[in-house]
C-alpha cells in the first residue's frame, strides 16, 4: 500500500535547508525552540510559484508527518517568505518569522508627515493583536491591521519595546509547544508592504498559503495511516480492520493527487481561492475521518500509552480548527453561486414580458 508507506518523496536537494529542517523535526519532540534555532541557521526558505511547488508542499507534508509542532513553526515562516517575495521584498537569513493575521482591534496611525527618505516607520500600531503564535520567540512578523480604507499588511519588528507578547496563551491540549497568546502594541513602528489595502487577501499567494497548510495536515494524516498499518501488521485484522486500511489508503491517495495537482496549478499561475477551499476542505474532512478510523481500529491503547500518537492526535485536532468546516463551505458555495450568476444571468423582467 504505497500511500500508507511513503507518500511524500521529499527531494533532499530541493533547498539547502531541507535536510537540517527534517532532521530537527524528527528529533525536536514538540520543542519549538529547536525549530526556531534551525530556521535562523538555514538559508531563507523556498517560495511557492517558482516551479518547485510540488517539492515545497511535500516538504511541508513531511514536517507534518514528523512533528506537528515543528510544522507549526516552519509553515508560517515559509508563508512569510512567500508574502514578502510577492510584495517585492525578501527575507534575510538568520531570522525567524511569523504571520499574525487574525481580525483584531488594532489602530493604525500613519506617519504621513515624515520625510519619505527617512528610515522611520510608515505607521505605528496600537491595540491588542490576537492569536500571535510564538510572538515572544520570533524576530519579525507580518501583521494585519485595518482602517477605513481596508486591511493592510505590515512588517513588525517584535524586538522593539512597544511590543509586549502575553505570557499566557499556551494551549491546554494540542500544539502545547506553540503558545498563541495576544500581542499588545503601544505605538509599535511598522513598515507597510504590498499594493495598498486588501492586498494580502486579494493576491494569488493567499490561496497558495492556504494550500500549504493543507499539505501539513496531509502529512499528519499519513502518519496516522502508518500507525494503523503498523498495528495491523502485529495481528491479523478482521474484515473491519481490512476495510479501515483500504479506506485510509484511498483517502490518502486522493489527497496526494489533489495536492500535486494544486502545486502544478500554483506554478502555472492558475491556483485561485476556490481551488484552495476545495483542497483545504477535502483535506480537513479526510483528516477527521483518519482520526475517527484510528480511534475505532486502535481503541484507547495508543492514546494512553503511545506518546507520539497521542500527541499527534491532540495536535492535529487543534491544527484542523484553522479550517472552519461548514462555514468555509458556505463561503465557497456563496462564491460559486455568484460566479454562476455572472456567467449565466437570469433574464430581466422585461425580457420575460416580451
Residues 185 and 259 in one domain: no
Which three-class secondary structure state does DSSP give residue 164? strand
Residues 223 and 187 in one domain: no
Residue 2 has pLDDT above 50, yes or no: no
pLDDT at 324: 86
Residues 54 and 110 in one domain: no
CATH of the domain at 149: 2.40.110.10
DSSP conformation letters of 182-209: -EEEEEEEEEEESSSTTHHHHSTHHHHH
DSSP H helical ranges for 204-238 = 205-234
CB 255 within 8 A of CB 283: yes
Residues 107 and 39 in one domain: no
Name the phi and psi angles at 187, rounded to 5: 75, 40
- Domain membership flag for residue 55: yes
pLDDT at 101: 96
Those residues whose C-beta lies under 8 Å from the C-beta of residue 284, and which sit 6 or more positions away, are 214, 217, 320, 323, 325
- Domain membership flag for residue 48: yes
Residues 11 and 69 in one domain: yes
Domain boundary among 136, 168, 198: 198
Look up residue 50 and give its DSSP letter. S
Residue 5 has pLDDT above 60, yes or no: no
Residues 263 and 132 in one domain: no
Residue 320 has pLDDT above 90, yes or no: yes
Residues 117 and 249 in one domain: no
Q: Which residues does residue 189 pair with via DSSP β-bridges, in sequence order?
A: 124
pLDDT tier at 289 (50, 70, 90 boundaries)?
very high
What's the grid cell of residue 246?
Answer: 483500504
Q: Which residues does residue 140 pair with via DSSP β-bridges, in sequence order?
A: 97, 157
Cα–Cα distance between 80 and 44 in angstroms, integer? 10
- Domain membership flag for residue 353: no
What's the grid cell of residue 235?
Answer: 495481528
pLDDT at 13: 78
Domain boundary among 94, 111, 136: 94
Determine the average pLDDT of the residues in 158-173.
92
Length of the chain: 354
Instruction: Indicate the pTM of the whole model.
Output: 0.93
pLDDT in tens, 57-75: 999 999 999 999 999 999 9
CB 24 within 8 A of CB 76: no
Residues 88 and 106 in one domain: no
CB 75 within 8 A of CB 60: yes
Dihedral over alpha carbons 236, 240, 241, 242 (to 10 degrees)? 90
pLDDT in tens, 116-126: 555 679 999 99
Residues 140 and 227 in one domain: no
- Domain membership flag for residue 118: yes
Domain count, the chain: 3
Cα–Cα distance between 72 and 36 in angstroms, integer? 11
Between the alpha carbon of residue 315 and those of residues 19, 225, 234, the distances in Å are: 23, 16, 26
- Domain membership flag for residue 348: no
Residues 211 and 313 in one domain: yes
What's the grid cell of residue 189?
Answer: 513602528
- Domain membership flag for residue 354: no
CATH of the domain at 262: 1.20.140.10
Label residue 340 exposed, middle or buried (CB < 10 Å: 0-12, 13-18, 19+).
Answer: exposed
pLDDT tier at 354 (50, 70, 90 boundaries)?
very low
Label residue 301 exposed, middle or buried (CB < 10 Å: 0-12, 13-18, 19+).
Answer: exposed
Cα–Cα distance between 89 and 83 in angstroms, integer? 9
Residues 210 and 303 in one domain: yes
Domain boundary among 149, 183, 198: 198
Q: Is 150 left (phi over 0), alpha (psi -120 to 50) or beta?
A: left
CB 249 within 8 A of CB 318: no
- Domain membership flag for residue 352: no
pLDDT at 57: 97
* Angle, CA 271 vertex, CA 81 and CA 150 arms, to 5°: 65
- Domain membership flag for residue 350: no
Residues 34 and 83 in one domain: yes
Domain that holds residue 37: 2-94
Determine the average pLDDT of the residues in 8-34.
90
Amino acid at each position: 500500500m504505497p500511500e500508507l508507506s511513503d507518500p511524500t518523496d521529499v527531494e533532499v536537494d530541493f533547498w539547502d535547508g531541507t535536510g537540517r529542517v527534517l532532521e530537527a523535526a524528527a528529533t525536536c519532540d514538540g520543542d519549538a525552540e529547536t525549530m526556531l534555532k534551525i530556521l535562523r541557521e538555514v538559508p531563507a526558505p523556498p517560495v511557492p510559484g517558482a516551479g518547485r511547488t510540488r517539492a515545497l508542499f511535500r516538504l511541508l507534508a513531511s514536517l507534518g508527518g514528523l512533528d506537528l509542532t515543528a510544522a507549526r513553526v516552519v509553515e508560517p515562516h515559509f508563508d512569510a517568505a512567500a508574502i514578502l517575495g510577492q510584495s517585492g521584498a525578501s527575507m534575510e537569513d538568520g531570522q525567524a518569522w511569523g504571520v499574525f493575521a487574525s481580525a483584531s482591534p488594532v489602530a493604525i496611525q500613519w506617519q504621513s508627515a515624515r520625510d519619505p527618505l527617512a528610515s522611520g516607520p510608515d505607521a505605528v500600531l496600537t491595540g491588542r493583536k490576537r492569536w500571535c503564535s510564538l510572538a515572544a520567540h520570533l524576530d519579525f512578523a507580518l501583521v494585519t491591521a485595518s482602517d477605513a480604507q481596508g486591511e493592510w499588511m505590515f512588517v513588525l519588528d517584535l524586538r522593539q519595546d512597544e511590543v509586549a507578547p502575553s505570557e499566557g496563551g499556551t494551549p491546554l491540549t494540542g500544539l502545547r509547544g506553540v503558545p498563541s497568546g495576544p500581542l499588545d502594541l503601544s505605538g509599535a513602528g511598522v513598515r507597510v508592504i504590498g499594493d495598498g489595502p486588501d492586498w494580502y487577501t486579494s493576491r494569488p499567494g493567499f490561496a497558495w498559503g492556504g494550500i500549504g497548510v493543507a499539505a501539513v495536515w496531509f502529512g499528519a494524516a499519513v502518519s496516522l495511516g502508518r500507525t494503523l498499518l503498523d498495528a495491523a501488521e502485529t495481528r491479523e485484522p478482521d474484515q473491519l480492520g481490512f476495510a479501515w486500511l483500504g479506506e485510509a489508503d484511498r483517502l490518502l491517495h486522493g489527497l496526494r493527487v489533489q495536492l500535486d495537482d494544486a502545486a502544478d496549478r500554483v506554478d502555472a499561475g492558475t491556483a485561485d481561492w476556490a481551488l484552495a477551499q476545495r483542497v483545504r476542505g477535502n483535506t480537513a474532512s479526510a483528516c477527521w475521518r483518519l482520526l475517527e478510523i484510528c480511534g475505532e481500529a486502535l481503541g484507547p491503547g495508543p492514546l494512553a500509552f503511545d506518546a507520539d500518537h497521542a500527541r499527534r492526535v491532540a495536535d492535529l485536532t487543534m491544527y484542523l480548527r484553522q479550517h472552519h468546516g461548514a462555514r468555509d463551505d458556505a463561503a465557497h458555495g456563496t462564491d460559486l453561486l455568484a460566479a454562476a450568476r455572472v456567467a449565466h444571468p437570469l433574464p430581466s423582467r422585461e425580457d420575460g414580458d416580451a
